[in-house]
Amino acid sequence: MAGFFGLFDFTKEGKGVSKNERKKYRFFTFFEVYFRKFWKLMQLNFLFSTSFLIPLSVIYVVNLVMTNKQTPVYFFIILGIVIVSIIPIGSALTGLFYVSRNLAREEHSFIWTDFIKAVKGNWKTGSLILFLDVIFAGAIYVGFTTYSAMEGILGTLGVAVITFVAVTITFMNYYMFTMQVTFKLTFKQLCKNGFLFAYLGMFKNILITILLAAIIFAVYILRPFSTIFVLSVVISLCAFIISFITYPTIKKFMIDPLYNKEEETQDTPQIEEEKEIKPAFSDERKIK
């Protein structure tokens, strides 16, 4: 008799999944997947943390060594460190979103090898995205400070435009890194699709923003004790939230049309890695 009196018999077929079984709400699926992948996400968090811990350590040493922090030399040293650190952090972001996307899709992922693979294949684009984000963030800060100090219609209009730009760029970023590690797109196509998704997924983007704002607020309130959570949990949690919520939208508009098109030409369509396909939004793309 298999098992113990018929129990614990793993060779016996299970009851399977009923065709009429109700599909789980994604709200519950999120927590189910997150806690099942928790330790892998923690490893991912530690791995990504090294990308900004090294530049921060260098800045800390510079602060200790340089006694006069009001000199132009100090300013340019710190600025140089910040600019140079864009490359490792931007590269690490590609690895972060590649692995978090795989985990959000409930795919098996080797954290270290997948992270390094994504960094090697996408570091230039990831660094460019982060560099432009830093430039835009600085411009938005200066513009908002300038126009908010003005009185009258010009100041109000300026603040409205700056706010619109800030929200659009923020929403675009929710999609750009995931698209970058999913498709072979030019930077122009990446920006174009990111802009479209910023408004096609408006309600989801607002939800992501609320969730991320709540997490950031909790980290701020609980500082400095929250530092350990930032280094171990918070970053990967934020990436997982973004990947889990945005990927279905990307799939709907950029992947599903491919399946539908191939179903018209063959009975069992297959998508192979690195296969060139026609995109929903762009002139040309490849699925990774």
Q: What are the tens digits of pLDDT across the range 118-163?
A: 999 899 999 999 999 999 999 999 999 998 888 888 888 999 999 9
Q: What are the tens digits of pLDDT across the range 257-274?
A: 776 666 666 544 444 443
For the four alpha carbons of 112, 113, 116 and 122, in that order, the dihedral sign comes to negative
Q: Is the pLDDT of residue 187 over 70?
A: yes
Q: Is the pLDDT of residue 198 over 60?
A: yes
Between 106 and 237, the higher pLDDT residue: 237
* Backbone angle region of 87, left / alpha / beta, with phi > 0 → left and psi within -120 to 50 → alpha: alpha
**Exposure of 29 by Cβ count < 10 A (0-12 exposed, 13-18 middle, 19+ buried)?**
middle
pLDDT value, residue 17: 44
Q: Where are the alpha helices (DSSP H) in 149-280?
A: 153-180, 187-200, 202-221, 227-229, 235-250, 256-263
pLDDT value, residue 276: 38
Q: What are the tens digits of pLDDT across the range 31-45?
A: 999 999 999 999 999
Sorted by sequence, the CB contacts under 8 Å of residue 283 that are 6+ apart come out as: 189
- Which two tokens mark 195? 């802009």
Between 126 and 79, the higher pLDDT residue: 126
pLDDT value, residue 286: 53
| Helix and strand numbers, DSSP H then E, in the chain | 10, 2
Q: Which residues pair with 7 in a beta bridge?
A: 4
What pTM did the predictor assign?
0.80
